[in-house]
Amino acid sequence: MVIDNDEVPVLDGSSSGYCMLIEEAGIKELDKSKKAIKVKKEVEVTTPEGKRVCLKPSNHIVYDFKISFDHPSIGEQNFHFDYSIAEYKENISRARTFGFLHEVQYLRSVGLAQGGSMENAIVLDQSKVLNPEGLRYTDEFVRHKILDAIGDMALLGYTLVGEYDAVAGSHHLNHLLTKELYKDPENYEIIDLEEASEEAEVFELAYSKVEI
């Protein structure tokens, strides 16, 4: 795949279409094992408003996210996700991005979000979800936040092995978090997934010898 613009195509607002395309293309086994970045020390980024994103050491790949919106269709949501390919496809990949109607109207007025619609996002007014088909999960909003976080952590350049924990996290805070992790070499180590899988079964979930 070649990306020649600022973002990948939105499709339906989730990553399920990409999962399908990857499955159709298949995987290729390489002659050498895949590397990963393993969190060794806890790193954290916070804001005065109480937003927080954090990476913690773990032999597992875990994402825990909490959001709170003053909206009857969202409210407080929390989702704990123990990573596996099957669980990602079933519980995370189908969660769509979301936005509020007044924000969409403003973005369009300044030339942004021109392709945004209820076909590629969950749209909410002040009281309800406007999409006629409703939600795919009752907590689809927080699940999409985890989808976002997984994508943001992929920009580290390696599969992340550790625990990601967030309260009202965002793309911007995740970017700052990756910079914070890389700030000190003592915060992480680059590991060989095939060797690590001999010590911890979870590493097998992150592909030990394959590349898409």
State pLDDT tens for residues 121-165.
999 999 999 999 999 999 999 999 999 999 999 999 999 999 999
Contact 155/178 with Cβ under 8 angstroms? yes
Distance CA 10, CA 202 (A): 30
pLDDT at 197: 61
pLDDT at 211: 39
pLDDT at 204: 45
pLDDT at 196: 67
Distance CA 93, CA 132 (A): 21
> What positions carry a catalytic annotation?
171
pLDDT at 209: 38
Distance CA 140, CA 52 (A): 20
Contact 176/166 with Cβ under 8 angstroms? no
Number of other residues whose CB lies within 10 A of the CB of residue 18 = 14
Number of other residues whose CB lies within 10 A of the CB of residue 150 = 20
Domain 16-94+139-211, second-level architecture: 2-Layer Sandwich (3.30)
| CATH 3.30.1700.10 intervals, the chain | 16-94+139-211
pLDDT at 96: 97
Residue 145: name the closest of 74, 58, 66 by CA. Answer: 66
Report the predicted TM-score, pTM, of the whole model to 2 decimal places: 0.88
With a cut of 50, which residues of the chain have pLDDT below it?
Answer: 202-205, 207-212
